[in-house]
Amino acid sequence: MKPSPFVYHRPTTLEETLDVLAEVGADGKVLAGGQSLVPLLSMRLAAPAHLVDINHVGGLDRIEVRGGGVRVGATARHAAVERDDRAFDAVPLLRQALVHVAHPTIRNRGTTVGSLAHADPSGEMTAVLALLGGTVTLSRRGSERTVGAADFFHGPLESAVVPGEVAVEAFFPAPTGPRTGSAWAEVSRRHGDYAVCGVGALVTLDDDLRVAAARVGLISVGPTPEVVDVTEALRQLAGTLTERALRTAAGHASAASAAGGGA
């Protein structure tokens, strides 16, 4: 399985990138991590005439904690975001979900912004963005726009990115509230596989340690990530949580405190 021929572009600045993208339009695809794109090219399921490699554009691999959340640049690798302690402190859900994205070797190259733009219905980061109410910034020659998560995922493998545009940054807002915790769980057939179902959860407790707010973001249950407010449902359940569920929760909590992490 070898890709069809293409014209290769290797811009070194964002400006150059946007110029090329404006020229090639729908005949071009952006190459960032390539972990999803290259297999498609090799299988000849996609055969763009132009490939615009943004891996050498300066400054696109930033990971910053700024403006109330984590800002991830277009070429920041999953592995880098996963390792970033400041990012973890601000938005623990990022690392909690990232450890489930494929295998570490894939994460060394795949990009978080790239996986958002790829919009796979079983992509963990799509639900993380949706659950946190994050945004993606799209640039084109001469303009830039920011799209909220609710409007970013259009369908399976379809995002808001249009020809001529490149996603340059994603913003993951930090969850608010002093007693807010997050977690990610998924069921997959094999370790590291696409999730059969994946859930990110945000729970905020009030001063009396009762559920004040709770919502979940789901992958692999529909064409795009789904966010569901489960505050009422959890309030009903509290007091009737099964023995098994409580035991599991207690197990997680003690493991987390033994490891010295977790908020």
Partner 1 sequence: MTTAMMGEPIARREDPRLLSGKGRFLDDLGRYALGVAFVRSPHAHARVVDIDVTGALEVQGLVAIYTYDDLAGPLAEPLPLLIPHPALTHGRTPYALAKDEVNHVGEAVVMVVASDRYAAEDVCDRIRVTYEVLTAVVGIEAAREAAHLVHDDVPGNLAAHMVQEVGDARAAIDAAPHVLELDLDVERSASTPLEGKGVYARWDADDASLRVYTSTQASTSVRAALAAKLDLPPDRVEVVAPDVGGGFGVKIVHPWPEEVLVSWAAITLGREVKWVEDRREHFVSSAHERGQLHHVRVGFDDDGRLLGLDVTFWHDNGSYTPYGIIVPIVTATQLLGPYKPGAYRVEFSSLYTNTVLVTPYRGAGRPQGCFAMERTMDAIAAELGLDRAEVRERNFIRPEEMPYDHGLLFQDGRPLIYDSGDYPASMEKLKKLVGWDAFESYRAEAREQGRRVGIGLACYVEGTGVGPYEGGWVKVENDGSVVVATGLTTQGQGHQTAFAQIAADVLGVPLDRVTVTTGDTRRFRYAVGTFASRALVMSGNAIAAAARTVREKALRIAGEALEADARDLEIVDGVVRVRGVPTSSIQLSTVAVLSNPLRYAFDAESARATQFATPADPDKPPVAEGEEPGLEATGYYSPPRATFANGMHAAIVETDPDTAEIRILRYCVVHDCGTLVNPRIVEGQVHGGVAQGVGGALYERMVYDSAGQLLNASFMDFLMPYSTEVPTIETDHLETPSPLNPLGVKGAGEAGVIPGMAVFASAISDAEGFPITRMPISPSDLFHLRATHPEGAS
Partner 2 sequence: MTDLHDVALTVNGVPRSARVPARRLLSDFLRHDLGLTGTHVGCEHGVCGACTVLIDGRPVRSCLLFAVSVAGATITTVEGCCEPDGSLGPVQQAFWDCHGLQCGFCTPGFVTTVTAYLDENPDPTQDEAREAIAGNLCRCTGYQNIVASVLRAAELRREVRA
Compute the least distance from the CB of residue 38 to partner 1, in Å: 13
Specify the residue, 31 or 131, whose C-beta has the smaller distance to partner 2. Answer: 31
Sites of contact with partner 2 (CB under 8 A)? 1-8, 10, 31, 34-35, 38-39, 41-43, 51, 53, 55, 79, 102-106, 108-109, 191-192
Q: If contact means CB under 5 to 8 A according to the sort of partner, which of partner 1, partner 2, none does residue 44 touch?
A: partner 1
Sites of contact with partner 1 (CB under 8 A)? 1-5, 43-44, 187, 189-194, 196, 242-244, 247
Nearest-CA neighbor of 183 among 63, 121, 59, 93? 93
> Which residues touch 166 (CB under 8 Å, ≥6 apart)?
17, 18, 21, 30, 52, 54, 74, 138, 139, 140
| Cα 144 from Cα 175, distance rounded (Å) | 26
Compute the least distance from the CB of residue 123 to partner 1, in Å: 14
Specify the residue, 191 or 240, whose C-beta has the smaller distance to partner 1. Answer: 191
Specify the residue, 5 or 142, whose C-beta has the smaller distance to partner 2. Answer: 5
Give the position of tokens 């009737």: 240
Specify the residue, 208 or 244, whose C-beta has the smaller distance to partner 1. Answer: 244
Please state, as a whole number, how many other Cβ atoms lie within 10 Å of the Cβ of residue 17: 25
Specify the residue, 212 or 221, whose C-beta has the smaller distance to partner 1. Answer: 221
Give the position of tokens 């992958």: 219
Q: If contact means CB under 5 to 8 A according to the sort of partner, which of partner 1, partner 2, none does residue 20 touch?
A: none
Q: If contact means CB under 5 to 8 A according to the sort of partner, which of partner 1, partner 2, none does residue 244 touch?
A: partner 1
Transcribe 107-169 into DSSP letters: HTT-BHHHHHHHT-TT-HHHHHHHHHT-EEEEEETTEEEEEEHHHHEEETTEES--TT-EEEE
Q: If contact means CB under 5 to 8 A according to the sort of partner, which of partner 2, partner 1, none does residue 243 touch?
A: partner 1
Do residues 119 and 153 touch, judged by C-beta distance below 8 A? yes
| Cα 9 from Cα 31, distance rounded (Å) | 10
Specify the residue, 42 or 257, whose C-beta has the smaller distance to partner 1. Answer: 42
| Cα 149 from Cα 250, distance rounded (Å) | 33
Compute the least distance from the CB of residue 252 to partner 1, in Å: 16
Q: If contact means CB under 5 to 8 A according to the sort of partner, which of partner 1, partner 2, none does residue 234 touch?
A: none
Q: If contact means CB under 5 to 8 A according to the sort of partner, which of partner 2, partner 1, none does residue 34 touch?
A: partner 2
